Amino acid sequence: MRKFPWPLFRLGIIGGGQLGKMMTQEAKRMGFWVTVLDPEPSSPAGQVADQEITASFFDRKGLGMLVAQSDIVTYDIEHVDTEFLKDIPGVDKIHPAPPVLAVIQDKLKQKILLKEGGVPVPRFASSEEKEIWSSFGFPLVQKARYGGYDGKGVCVIQNEQALSQGISGPAFFEEYVPLEKELSVLVARNRTGEIAFYPVVEMFFESRANICDMVLVPARISREKSLEAQSIARRCVEILNGVGIFAVEMFLARDGRLLVNEVAPRPHNSGHFTIEACVTSQFEQHLRAICGLPLGETTLLSPAVMVNLLGEEGYRGTPCVEGLEEALRIPGVSFHLYGKKETRPFRKMGHVTVLAQSLDEAMVKALRVKNLVKIRS
């Protein structure tokens, strides 16, 4: 029988945002020592970690220090120096592995790898392959190869005249897919290859910023379509040989096809509901996976809706929460504020999870919360 000293593990997290904060909170509950690296002193994760290294994600001295003093290292953000991490002493401590992250950082390489592995994806072509992408017709989707997140780095081009106003820098083109729904599947894989799925979720987006606004679980799709989505998600993680938790975002097209949009190699916004609504949260599951522990049970305890609390348009500065007391009077509401020092329009400042006996009831309550709670300055 294996024996664990205290602390169970010394965990290093590259990135101190809200994902790092919630991961740190779970790690502390489980008896870990946590060090966070982030450019911003007293980052959300740094506020609850044991130690914080203030350095950029490309600061090789800081990254080396973090890896050297940790048993296990992971990320809450993709935009890190993978080239340095690939060759660093102790690279075997880092999960997902830096080569996996490097593929995911380049959205075109990611698409090519998935397609070659038999995963259904929208038709795509590099910017240089005009003969191919021009055959997709308009509207046409242009995506930045690097650095895109939360709606940034995606441009829908309506006609040929608008091509010149698209994304500058390395990019690729993708066919525009008429959508029935946008879905996400959280899938965890540990170091022995054990795999666990969470229920498929349905995502709604804030149209002005193209950022996730609400998440419904379980998704309102058939059991057959849910099983198909989980099977596709499994294939994605196996192709990547990934360790940790992965969010596989998908399009359910109007013609019934499931197409993978992209893969996130970390806990994800679409999985925040798991904190209250599942036996094992996505953050605990990620820690179990990267530490070589058995995966936890993923049973959904209750239908749930997660509402992102975004910074209100027209406000910037020290955040101020309005409507909290009224929202907390609603049964089944759990409130999370991330500890960011500045609010900006559409910035993710927190979230609310609503549990109820039925998804319809949870939706009604969530819409009330959405109308009540505002993050202003």
Q: Do 151 and 198 belong to one domain?
A: no
Residue 159's pLDDT is: 87
Give the residue from 113, 140, 175 where a domain finishes. 175
How many domains does the chain contain in total?
3
The rounded distance, in Å, linking the Cα atoms of 132 and 134 is 6
225 part of a folded domain: yes
Supply the range of the domain harboring residue 39. Answer: 10-94
Q: Do 263 and 283 belong to one domain?
A: yes
CATH number for the domain spanning 186: value is 3.30.470.20
Q: What is the CA radius of gyration of the chain?
A: 20
Q: Do 63 and 131 belong to one domain?
A: no
Q: How does DSSP classify residue 301? A: -
Residue 43's pLDDT is: 97
4 part of a folded domain: no
Q: Is the pTM of the predicted complex or chain greater than 0.75?
A: yes
117 part of a folded domain: no
Q: Do 299 and 249 belong to one domain?
A: yes
Q: Is-contact 98 85, C-beta < 8 A?
A: yes
Residue 5's pLDDT is: 85
Q: Do 166 and 184 belong to one domain?
A: no
The token duo for 78 is 């993709």
Give the residue from 175, 190, 210 where a domain finishes. 175
Q: Is-contact 25 16, C-beta < 8 A?
A: no
Residue 134's pLDDT is: 87
Q: Do 59 and 148 belong to one domain?
A: no
Q: Do 195 and 278 belong to one domain?
A: yes
Give the residue from 107, 142, 175 where a domain finishes. 175
Distances (CA, A) of 187 to 92, 235, 272: 22, 10, 14
The rounded distance, in Å, linking the Cα atoms of 26 and 291 is 13
Burial class of residue 331 (count of CB atoms within 10 Å of its CB; 0-12, 13-18, 19+)? exposed
Ranges assigned E (strand) in 72-218: 72-75, 124-126, 140-144, 154-157, 171-175, 179-189, 195-197, 201-206, 211-217
pLDDT, one tens digit for every residue, the chain (377 residues): 888 889 999 999 999 999 999 999 999 999 999 999 999 999 999 999 999 999 999 999 999 999 999 999 999 999 999 999 999 999 999 999 999 999 999 999 999 999 999 999 999 999 899 899 889 999 999 999 998 776 678 989 888 888 878 888 899 999 999 999 999 999 999 999 999 999 999 999 887 878 889 999 999 999 999 999 999 999 999 999 999 999 999 999 999 999 999 999 999 999 999 999 999 999 999 999 999 999 999 999 999 999 999 999 999 999 999 999 999 999 999 999 999 999 999 999 999 999 999 999 999 999 999 999 999 99
106 part of a folded domain: no
CATH number for the domain spanning 82: value is 3.40.50.20
367 part of a folded domain: yes
112 part of a folded domain: no
237 part of a folded domain: yes
Q: Do 229 and 212 belong to one domain?
A: yes
The rounded distance, in Å, linking the Cα atoms of 274 and 266 is 14
Q: Do 159 and 71 belong to one domain?
A: no
Q: Do 161 and 276 belong to one domain?
A: no
Q: Do 193 and 137 belong to one domain?
A: no
311 part of a folded domain: yes
Q: Do 234 and 351 belong to one domain?
A: yes
